[in-house]
Structure 1
Amino acid sequence: MQTIRREQAKKYAFDWRDEPLLRVAPGEPFAVETYDASTGYFKTPADHANPAKRPGFDRIPPMVNPIAGPVFLDGAERGDVLVITIDEIEVEAYSWTAAGPRRGPLGESTRWPELSGGYTTKIFRHTPGPSSTTRDGTLHFSDRISWPITPFVGTIGVAPDREVTTSNDGQGPWGGNLDIRDVAPGNRILLPVFHPGALLYLGDVHASQGDTEFTGTAAETMATVRLRLDIIKQKRIPWMRIEKPASVVSVYAERPLEGAVEAATVNLMDWLITEHGYTPTDAYCLVTTCPDFRINVYQMCKLGKLAFVAGAELPRKYL
């Protein structure tokens, strides 16, 4: 199986000028070994998020959130849709999260000074599950609290049309740092293609995350991602779509949050109208009356230029 090794997975921008690290055929399985968001800096609780000590933080923009790529898909052309199927994500032996001054919405808290007065790094141990791997393993938050590892790819996208944008705060119709917990094994991710070969990048795997990634970091980890790519020829979609076994999700990122919610819902309506035979009136009325229609708030952390990420989700039984 072709593989991008971890030492190669240290790009910090989505850049159409990059030479592909891998070239694959439609349906061909391949693997990507990813770094965590700190490029391996956080290993113990003593490794604090002090910007002065972190390699690459003296750069503008800072070198954080490394991604691997690009991957060139044979036959993909501008105006196509890239279909990404994530088969497996196997995380490494630990993950981390960090808090401290000017990190996240409570990084200047006076109510709880311990959140803003100094740096804290928490390391979470991972143990294997029945498969003898971390694919079905357990994350240990503490001696008392644990939960199943639920990994997903936090940053994923193709090279944007014209601009070059960072892996840290780049977001757009092409993907980017979106932190969507549904970019996970068993689901299909759909993205518009802007360049020959699609030029896929990915990284920033999380072992688990709640809604919104409130502190600015989740359970950040290194991982091996196994996936396949396919093409839908000459099809246009406005933004990322996700096809889950039992539902479909239309994604959008914007500030304020209500802008992301409205655009994700309108794009879901367009999906229903153009591909599933709904009239505009029926689609409009469905999303306001159906008890199974859901809005997912994937990312709503006040961090730099990041927009808020919402997903409008509808069960397949209504398609």
Structure 2
Amino acid sequence: MMLMKIVSAERHTFEFRPDAEPALRVRPGEVVRFETSPLPAERLFAAGDGWVDAVDVRLINAVTGPVYIEGVEPGDAVSVEILEVVPLDWGWNANIPGFGILSDNMQHPLLRRIPIRDGRVWLNEALSMPVEPMIGCLGLAPARGTTSTLQPPYPWAGNYDLKQVRPGSTILFPAQVRGGLFSLGDLHAAMGDGEATSVSIECAGAATVRLGVRKRLDLQMPRVETPERIYTIGLAEQCDYAAARRHACDQMFHYLTAERGLTAEDAYILFSAAVDLTFGGPAAAVVLASVPLDVLAERDTIGETEGRRA
């Protein structure tokens, strides 16, 4: 049986800050379950037809935490291995008139409770899809000041809304303060890449992660590692996707050359052949560059074989 520590939803906040009192202290490698609350959504449903007026964006994207990780120093990377994300038996979706890229198509308010049962998300009685739970907002405390849980995201924390931040993945963050001070929240039962409407199938529930540290890793931005791909993240001001794209590619180029040992020429050609670019969430311009790990594994295997022959 896996031993874990628990941070209850009572320890929620709407910002990442360096002076926050830790909810827990853990050693690298320990497992923590973060619980999130359905109360913000329940308040909207309780408001009835007046729910739009009840929306307070400052109080809509809570995270649970923070957790202090022993041994973490600025300049290290905190690793967050996502073991499990379990939604409650319902989620929700909403449209506020004038909000989001479909505002010309959806001009009336919508607030719908979404049942979650039998491993599926029921968008209506006839339309369902598999539950694909993920974490929308997570990260570490800044070195100074505060970071919003809504927008914009920063290199150390934020509302990234990345479909890839799901069970089986590990996300790395550059630590800014001792202990890192990690928090997470904004769970989703399902979401398309880019969160096109700025709303997913939002839900409450629990996320279980293993927290670790990679000492003195030269990490400037978050990085997502899945069994199939490595993702580097680029951030820029709202709508400046050209800058975010360049930023993501710069991070990937550094990873391929500094950490995987490719020459600049080989990294460039690999970009041309195999690197994909995708959108992250809408809280800023968020772009992901990714490379399939099987390509790099094949290179490593060939290199080892040639080394033995030599």
Fold equivalence (TM over 0.5): yes
Matched, 1:307 2:289: no
Residue number in structure 1 paired with 2:253? 269
Residue number in structure 2 paired with 1:192? 174
Distance, in Å, in 2 between the alignment partners of 1:90 and 1:63 is: 22
Alignment length (residue pairs): 291
Distance, in Å, in 1 between the alignment partners of 2:142 and 2:194 is: 25
Distance, in Å, in 2 between the alignment partners of 1:199 and 1:4 is: 13
Distance, in Å, in 1 between the alignment partners of 2:280 and 2:38 is: 19
Distance, in Å, in 2 between the alignment partners of 1:256 and 1:15 is: 27
Match of residue 222, structure 1, among 191, 204, 207: 204
Give SS of 2:93's match: strand
Shift of the 161–20 alpha-carbon distance from structure 1 to 2, 3 Å rule, reads same
Deviation at 1:225, TM superposition (A): 0.6
Match of residue 101, structure 1, among 94, 97, 108: 97
Give SS of 2:270's match: helix
Matched, 1:284 2:264: no
Shift of the 239–172 alpha-carbon distance from structure 1 to 2, 3 Å rule, reads same
One-letter code aligned to 1:260: A
Structure 1's unaligned 5+ residue stretches are 129-136
Matched, 1:177 2:167: no
- The 8 Å contact of residues 36 and 204 in structure 1, kept in 2 or not, is answered as no
Matched, 1:3 2:10: no
Tell me which protein shows more helix as a share of its residues.
2
Matched, 1:233 2:228: no
Residue number in structure 2 paired with 1:132? none
Give SS of 2:177's match: coil
- The 8 Å contact of residues 33 and 224 in structure 1, kept in 2 or not, is answered as yes
Give SS of 2:10's match: helix
- Of 29-38 and 223-232, more deviation after overlay is shown by 29-38
Runs of 4 or more above 6 Å deviation: none
Deviation at 1:270, TM superposition (A): 0.6
Match of residue 242, structure 2, among 243, 246, 258: 258
Identity over the aligned pairs, expressed in percent? 29
Give SS of 2:253's match: helix
C-alpha distance after superposition, 1:225-261 (max 9, x if no partner): 1111111111221101011112111012224112212
Shift of the 37–270 alpha-carbon distance from structure 1 to 2, 3 Å rule, reads farther
One-letter code aligned to 2:159: N
- The 8 Å contact of residues 36 and 66 in structure 1, kept in 2 or not, is answered as no
- The 8 Å contact of residues 61 and 185 in structure 2, kept in 1 or not, is answered as yes
Residue number in structure 1 paired with 2:69? 73
C-alpha distance after superposition, 1:92-142 (max 9, x if no partner): 0111111122221233x2xx4xx22x32112210003xxxxxxxx110111
Distance, in Å, in 2 between the alignment partners of 1:8 and 1:264 is: 33
- The 8 Å contact of residues 168 and 226 in structure 2, kept in 1 or not, is answered as yes
Distance, in Å, in 2 between the alignment partners of 1:277 and 1:235 is: 15
The equivalences for 1:112-127 within 5 A come to 112=105, 115-116=106-107, 118-127=108-117
Give SS of 2:250's match: helix
Residue number in structure 1 paired with 2:226? 244
Distance, in Å, in 2 between the alignment partners of 1:169 and 1:287 is: 30
- Of 18-27 and 31-40, more deviation after overlay is shown by 31-40
- The 8 Å contact of residues 29 and 212 in structure 2, kept in 1 or not, is answered as yes
Distance, in Å, in 2 between the alignment partners of 1:253 and 1:270 is: 16
Residue number in structure 2 paired with 1:34? 36
Residue number in structure 1 paired with 2:126? 144
Give SS of 1:221's match: strand
Matched, 1:209 2:211: no
Residue number in structure 1 paired with 2:306? none
Structure 2's unaligned 5+ residue stretches are 297-310
Residue number in structure 1 paired with 2:295? 318
- The 8 Å contact of residues 141 and 180 in structure 2, kept in 1 or not, is answered as yes
Distance, in Å, in 1 between the alignment partners of 2:39 and 2:116 is: 17
Shift of the 94–48 alpha-carbon distance from structure 1 to 2, 3 Å rule, reads farther
